[in-house]
Amino acid sequence: MSTVSRALEARTRRMGKQTLRFRLTPAVVAAAAVVGPKEGQGPLGEYFDIIKQDDLLGEKSWERAESRMMAEACRVALRKAGAALGDVDYLIAGDLLNQITSSSFVARELKLPFLGLFGACSTLAEGMAVGAMMLDAGYARAVLVAVSSHHCTAERQYRYPTEFATQPPPTAQWTVTAAGAILMATKGDGPAVTLATVGRIVDAGIKDPLNLGAAMAPAAAATIRQHFEDTGRRPDDYDLIVTGDLANVGKEIAAELLSREGMELEDRLFDCGSSIYDPSQGVEAGASGCGCSAAVFTGYLMHGLLTGRYRRLLLTCTGALFSPTTYQQGETIPGIAHAIALETQDAPGQ
């Protein structure tokens, strides 16, 4: 490559300040969702690949159950694509547990070269961004991106022992028991990943780990706004602007923040955390967890992309980057969001 073409290449992969542009448009070749019983009983139940009948999956700990869900999601995604583990170059994974042990145990089982991420509930989009870079630039031909969360592992780690049966406030969100896996490749059919906007942290000053929607909403709004600024696109270029797990409280805040900047998203704004459960399921403000956006994207939204209901989606996964140590020490909860543009092959401008 000449110096000129190198410089040109460098220029065309950056858009604005925070956005990565994938010129070879890596495809989501297959995606799979494995969920717990409560998620299976929710309004999106029919879209998930596997619904478990109990939260333990027959294992002796919830942690083992969570790892097993993630490994199963990886295997189902491969099966749907007619691919084998040997076709995959890298596993990119993360979860909510301390030291992302669910992901590490899956990496051990699948024996794939492994990049571990932590982005709390933003990890799916973070992983898709890293995976798309690897594919687009030619470092890999196929990657698996996987994330998980489990209500019982997360609740006892982040808040109270589950046996306490504490009364949650109306702002609380129910951590989803689910794993999602995405097989992305440079060759193969499926929605293309065309852009990724990597988020900055926005800290809204929230100190309450039972009000994460409010902690993450300003970060979601900032990343969505930055995506449009960087790319020159407009909200109506997308069929849906998806947020990960703001739930009802956070979604309203994000909509209000975007509205103040002149973006009236209305029905175009779709939050996974407000959608995976029915209000009758006793989940307060809605859902949260890496598994929330993962299951809703790999199940429901992928179905919409594959059936032509959606042609362009902006998937904005939102994360609250706190630990029990930090909130007990009085620190506020930093929020982050990363956004991924997904487009079907017949989307306008493709």
Judged by DSSP in three states, 55 sits in coil
Q: Does 293 bind a copy of itself (CB under 8 A)?
A: no
Q: Does 168 bind a copy of itself (CB under 8 A)?
A: no
Question: Is residue 44 a contact partner of residue 300, using CB atoms and an 8 Å limit?
Answer: yes
Give Rg (Cα) of the chain.
19
**Cβ closer to a copy of itself: 289 or 334?**
334
**Distance (Å, whole) CA 152 – CA 63:** 9
**Distance (Å, whole) CA 13 – CA 322:** 32
Q: How far is the CB of 254 from a copy of itself (least distance, A)?
A: 19
Q: Does 198 bind a copy of itself (CB under 8 A)?
A: yes
**Distance (Å, whole) CA 251 – CA 236:** 18
**Cβ closer to a copy of itself: 55 or 126?**
126
Judged by DSSP in three states, 11 sits in helix
Q: Hey, what are 315's tokens? A: 């998937």
Question: Is residue 291 a contact partner of residue 176, using CB atoms and an 8 Å limit?
Answer: yes
Q: Does 162 bind a copy of itself (CB under 8 A)?
A: no
Which one of 45-53, 100-108, 241-249, 340-348 is the stretch in contact with a copy of itself (CB under 8 A)? 100-108
All residues at 6 or more sequence positions from 40 whose CB lies less than 8 Å from its CB, including other chains? 48, 51, 52
Q: Does 195 bind a copy of itself (CB under 8 A)?
A: no
Residue 58 has a CB neighbour count (10 Å cut-off) of 10
Query: Which residue has 């294992």 as its token pair?
Result: 59
- The residue type of 217 is A
The length of the chain is 350
Q: Hey, what are 148's tokens? A: 């998980």
Q: Does 161 bind a copy of itself (CB under 8 A)?
A: no
Pattern of binders to a copy of itself over 314-333, x per CB under 8 A?
-------xxxxxx--x-x--
Q: Does 259 bind a copy of itself (CB under 8 A)?
A: no
Q: Does 2 bind a copy of itself (CB under 8 A)?
A: no
One of 40, 199, 213, 218 touching a copy of itself (CB under 8 A):
199
Q: How far is the CB of 123 from a copy of itself (least distance, A)?
A: 9
In DSSP terms, 143 is beta-bridged to 90, 184
One of 26, 40, 119, 218 touching a copy of itself (CB under 8 A):
119
Q: Does 101 bind a copy of itself (CB under 8 A)?
A: yes
Ranges within 133-152 binding a copy of itself (CB under 8 A): 133-134, 136-141
Q: Does 167 bind a copy of itself (CB under 8 A)?
A: no
**Cβ closer to a copy of itself: 89 or 208?**
89
- 99-132 in b/e form (b: 16+ CB < 10 A) is ebebbbbbbeebebebbbbbbbbbbbbbbbbbbb
Which one of 30-38, 117-125, 277-285, 286-294 is the stretch in contact with a copy of itself (CB under 8 A)? 117-125
**Which residues contact a copy of itself (rule: CB under 8 A)?**
1, 6, 9-14, 17-18, 20, 23-24, 61, 63-64, 89-90, 94, 96-101, 104-105, 107-108, 111-120, 126, 129-130, 133-134, 136-141, 157, 186, 198-201, 203, 321-326, 329, 331, 334, 336
